[in-house]
Amino acid sequence: MTTITIPINKDLENFIDEELAHGTSESKAHLVRFALERLREERILLRIQEAENDIKAGRVYKGDLKKLAERSK
C-alpha cells in the first residue's frame, strides 16, 4: 500500500475529526480510502447511466467492432 500526504483546508479537517468522533470510521486513513472508493463508484455509475442514455437516444454503433475500430484510425 502506498502512503500519500495531501494538504487539506480546516473545514475538511474538522469534518474528518467529527466523523472520527462519531465513530463512523476507525481512522483518518480509513475515512479517506472510503471516500475515494465512493467517488470511484459514483463515477462508474455515472458512466453506466450515460451509456444507458446514449442507448435510449440511439447514439450507438452497430456492426463489427474490429471494422469500426479500423475506420477510426
Query: Is residue 8 over pLDDT 80?
Result: yes
pLDDT in tens, 28-61: 999 999 999 999 999 999 999 999 999 999 998 7
16 CB contacts (<8 Å, ≥6 apart)? 8, 28, 31, 32
pLDDT (0 to 100) of residue 28 = 96
pLDDT (0 to 100) of residue 63 = 81
Share of the chain above pLDDT 90, in %: 78
Q: For residues 47 and 54, what is the distance between their CA atoms, to the nearest angstrom?
A: 10
15 CB contacts (<8 Å, ≥6 apart)? none
pLDDT (0 to 100) of residue 26 = 93
Instruction: Tally the residues of the chain.
Output: 73
